[in-house]
Amino acid sequence: MDGVGLAPMEGVSDFPLRLWMSVTSQPLFQVTPFLRVTSTYPKNIPVHWAPELLLKGLGDKLSYSLVPQLMCPEPGPFVETAKRLLDQASFVELNCGCPAPVVVGKGAGSGLLREPAAFHNFISTCLAELGDEKLAVKIRTGFESSERYEELIGALKGLPLKRLTIHGRTRAQKYQGYANWEQIQYAARELGIPVHGSGDITDCGQFHARLTEQHKLAGVIIGRGSLRNPWIFEELRTGIKTRIEAKAIVAAVECYALILEAFSANQEELYGLCLEGTFTQKIHADYEAWQQLRHQLKAILPRHQNSLISKKSLGKVKMLWNYFRSSLPLSLFNPKILRCTRYEDFLTAIKVHLEALDQVDPRVSLSWQQNYDWIYAGEKRPKPKSDCR
């Protein structure tokens, strides 16, 4: 088995989240969000998109391997950019899953899945240029529907791909409903290449159910489930449910904010910390280690007038918190926390709620609660209201 990795999430799983996730629970591999490629862009591959690969020595100091993902409507520019990356990466992934209308309108992302024959030609052309096992592909189960799914999988039969990752929804489904893992398993049975599954893995129970049913799968990637429980990768490895001291949760959230800020305000110093090995080891639930990281990060940050963390970084921390809060005890789901407009107020609000819990039990249990799945699928709140949050 290739193992469990962090799924690509555009606008979310940038370098700061990848660093933070690696010290939180160490996914074995991580996939970059797609880099959009056209015949004129990028002239130079932006370093900040994948410093793990593009900065000498940096990847060696991190615990995960990085898979670079590109999105492109034509084989030519894709191959050209992929070849440049193959100096640093052992293979490159092609995004055939993005559902955004602007992307699909240009024939990229899941737009490549419309016609199985054209899809086959695209992939064969890229493989002929890049070589066996230099290309991985990530797909959905279809465009409008999964009616032609078997044809799509047939289009890949016999091709020497490094791996195929399948998000078990069609483009039309976007993120609604649940992923179809039977279809993922079908591809794993049909194709003689490693197949990875993606969609709705949020805890140990689901993970093991998938693996027992899906015995032919080579790996899985976890996206939103890792935002809901950032400790999930360790939990899946050990089978032990995560219980963390409230103060370690606060320190971990602070470290994410500080990494984001360092990445935006002082990238060179952040890369320096990486090269020194600051992010090589897992911190997991170790409060002292989170504190130490916090001090190291604070030391490289410039002084802001009003707040340590800019509004832009705060927005990203809140995005993570919006997911994470649904795995925490009820009081932390409080929407007032997300309404804080200053970082310091946001942090204080979290502390106040966590301190109240601390008096009952200093360790907080993280648990996935299905009744909040609708939030992350972009669906409306189900009726009747099943809770009072």
Tell me: does residue 12 bind ligand FMN (CB under 6 A).
yes
The residue of the chain with the least Cβ separation from ligand FMN equals 223
Quote the least distance from Cβ 161 to ligand FMN, whole Å.
15
DSSP secondary structure string, 121-137?
A: HHHHHHHHHH-TTSEEE
Tell me: does residue 139 bind ligand FMN (CB under 6 A).
no
By CB under 6 A, the residues from 190 to 219 that bind ligand FMN are: 198-201
Q: Out of 15, 16, 18, 34, name the contact with ligand FMN by CB under 6 A.
A: 34
Nearest CB to ligand FMN, comparing residues 34 and 263: 34
Q: Out of 33, 51, 111, 142, name the contact with ligand FMN by CB under 6 A.
A: 33
Nearest CB to ligand FMN, comparing residues 12 and 58: 12
Tell me: does residue 138 bind ligand FMN (CB under 6 A).
yes
Query: For 11-38, what is the HEC assignment?
Result: CCCCHHHHHHHHHHHCCCEEECCCEECC
Residue 388 annotated in active site: no
Q: Out of 4, 5, 8, 72, name the contact with ligand FMN by CB under 6 A.
A: 8
The β-bridge relationship of strands 65-67 and 92-96 is unpaired
Token readout for 258 is: 């500080």
Tell me: does residue 162 bind ligand FMN (CB under 6 A).
no
* Neighbouring residues of 315: CB distance < 8 A, sequence distance ≥ 6: none
User: Using the 8-state DSSP alphabet, how is residue 156 labeled?
Assistant: T
Kind and range of the H or E run holding 363: strand 363-365
Token readout for 10 is: 């555009």
Nearest to 94 by CA among 114, 121, 112: 112
- Name the burial class of residue 306, with classes exposed (0-12), middle (13-18) and buried (19+) by CB atoms within 10 angstroms of its CB: exposed
Nearest to 92 by CA among 147, 143, 35: 35
Out of 72, 96, 98, 204, which one is annotated catalytic?
Answer: 98
Q: Out of 5, 75, 142, 223, name the contact with ligand FMN by CB under 6 A.
A: 223
Q: Out of 51, 73, 225, 329, name the contact with ligand FMN by CB under 6 A.
A: 225
Tell me: does residue 242 bind ligand FMN (CB under 6 A).
no
* Contacting residues toward ligand FMN, per CB under 6 A: 7-12, 33-34, 69, 95, 97, 138, 167, 198-201, 222-225
Positions annotated as catalytic residues are 98
